[in-house]
Amino acid sequence: MIRDITLGQYYPAESILHKMDPRVKLVGTLAFIISLFLFDNVYGYVVATIFLVMTIKVSKVPFSFMIKGLKAIVILMLITVIFNLFLTPGDALVSFWKFTITKQGLRTAVFMMIRLTYLIIGSSIMTLVTTPNNLTDGMEKLMNPLRLIKVPVHEVAMMMSIALSFIPILLEETDKIMKAQMARGADFESGNLINKAKSLVPLLVPLFVSAFRRANDLAMAMEARCYRGGEGRTKMKPLIYHKRDFVAYIVILIYFVGVIMVNYI
């Protein structure tokens, strides 16, 4: 039941993208997403498509995994497309009953759909080729400069990686508690919304108690090993740029500039 939830969607493989520094991947994904909203002609989409397709090829992740994320926003996309198709004013293309599809509407709808699709695929790629802990390391390093204005960067990153490690542990605990209560006749499935909410109490209370207990134990374990916060703390696997990371930054820069230039064609 609960075992089937795969979290973080990391797909292990041996590709350049997998080995790349997470900071490059974060910056690249951000750049890509921003770029999607910077152009408004066909050539721009062609450039973006080339970039995306090449990234997919290099990642060695099966295409089927990339479009998994699209399932979640199918409804949103449908609504966006329909609204843009029928409600955009302009030169009519097709007209039936009271509804008119305009040329501008078609254009906007298609572009919007492509934008959303590329956005989802782009971010999916990032989580598919980077482990969650790697991602938080990258974010911590990138946000380091914020420490100068007293932002608790290290503490936030530590909280995130602890939370990530505990997700599978707590999921397993939930499964155990659910089974134990079901063995006492608890029913989590039938009944109206109110009944279902009430039936969550015997699940949530023990779960919270367990989570607090674990947090307490973890805190003590960390202190027993001399953890005192981020000051002067070194990493076992420090993030160091390699040549491939610099090449990637250059590629991203070229792409970004290219996408902007395309607007002037």
Partner 1 sequence: MSIIIDHVSYIYSKGNAYENKAISDINLKIEDGEFIGLIGHTGSGKSTLIQHLNGLLKATGGKIYYNGEDIYDNDYNMKKLRSKVGLVFQYPEHQLFEIDVFQDVCFGPKNLGLSKKEVELRAYTALKQVGLADEYFYQSPFDLSGGEKRRAAIAGVLAMQPEVLVLDEPTAGLDPKGCEEILELIVQLRKDTNITVILVSHSMEEVAKYVDRIIVMNQGGIAYDDTPGKVFMNYRELEQIGLSAPQVTYVMNKLHDRGMPVRTTALTVEEAKEEILRVYGRHF
Footprint of partner 1 on this chain (CB under 8 A)?
Answer: 3-4, 173, 176-177, 179-187, 201-202, 205-206, 209-210
Distance CA(100)–CA(87), nearest Å, equals 8
Beta bridge partners of 102: 92
Which of residues 88 and 173 has its CB atom nearest to partner 1 in the complex?
173
Distance CA(27)–CA(141), nearest Å, equals 12
Q: How far is CA 174 from CA 131, 159, 205, 208, in A?
A: 24, 21, 11, 10
Distance CA(103)–CA(85), nearest Å, equals 9
Structure tokens at 74: 């199918």
**DSSP strand pairing (99-102 vs 92-96):** antiparallel
Which of residues 162 and 173 has its CB atom nearest to partner 1 in the complex?
173
CB of 110 to partner 1, least distance (A): 37
Distance CA(122)–CA(66), nearest Å, equals 9
CB of 65 to partner 1, least distance (A): 12
Which of residues 168 and 202 has its CB atom nearest to partner 1 in the complex?
202
CB of 60 to partner 1, least distance (A): 17
CB of 169 to partner 1, least distance (A): 13
Which of residues 93 and 209 has its CB atom nearest to partner 1 in the complex?
209
Q: Name the residue among 38, 55, 113, 126 with its Cα closest to residue 79.
A: 113
CB of 185 to partner 1, least distance (A): 3
CB of 191 to partner 1, least distance (A): 12
Distance CA(191)–CA(204), nearest Å, equals 18
CB of 205 to partner 1, least distance (A): 4
Burial 177-191 (b: 16+ CB within 10 A, else e): bbeebeeeebeeeee
| Angle, helix 74-87 to helix 103-129, in steps of 10 degrees | 160
Distance CA(244)–CA(150), nearest Å, equals 33
Which of residues 11 and 51 has its CB atom nearest to partner 1 in the complex?
11
Which of residues 53 and 180 has its CB atom nearest to partner 1 in the complex?
180
Which of residues 185 and 238 has its CB atom nearest to partner 1 in the complex?
185
